[in-house]
A = this chain, B = another copy of it.
Amino acid sequence: MNGQFQIATHVLTLLCKQPGELLSSDYVAGSMNVNPVLVRKEMRKLRACGLIESKEGKAGGYCLALSPKNVTLADVYKAVKLPPALGQAKNKPNPDCPVGRQINAHLDHLADDVEAAIIKKLSTITIFDFVNQFD
């Protein structure tokens, strides 16, 4: 099981609900019951993509880098870099078989199409939209 997208989305939700404040990885980890180091690992990815900012030192923490209306869940998906939705075969098909020789090219193209469909769907939902669902 892979909960990286869920962690990232949870953090962004918290940051969105408490704008202007710096939230620590310990605080966030407490809201979701995961290890603070895991949170910091996801935050590294989000920061690398410019979605959040972090501040070190005492009273440090994380905050949004952009307006929640300008960040979509597609940005989050790309930032966390999940394994491909259709999976990823590691076998090396038999090059002497007409099907084996070509299938990886076709499967790769298909996987790209599916990832594009996921991103298209997620790009219709901003962080603001997602957070707005909460009571």
Contacts and interface: CB of A to CB of B under 8 A. Distances in A.
Interface of A: 1-7, 9-10, 13-14, 17, 30-34, 73, 77, 82-83, 85-94, 97-100, 102-103, 106-107, 110, 113-114, 117-118, 120-122, 125, 130, 133-135
A92 B2 CA distance: 14
A121 B125 contact: no
A99 B14 contact: yes
Contact of A93 (B31, B94, B99, B107): B31
Contact of A134 (B1, B91, B99): B99
Contacts of A2: 83, 87-88
A80 to B, nearest CB: 9
Contacts of A89: 1, 3, 6-7
17 contacts: A1-B83, A3-B87, A3-B89, A3-B91, A4-B87, A6-B91, A6-B103, A6-B107, A7-B89, A13-B103, A31-B100, A32-B91, A82-B86, A85-B85, A98-B134, A98-B135, A117-B118
A98 B16 CA distance: 13
Contacts of A121: 113-114, 117
Contacts of A17: 98-99
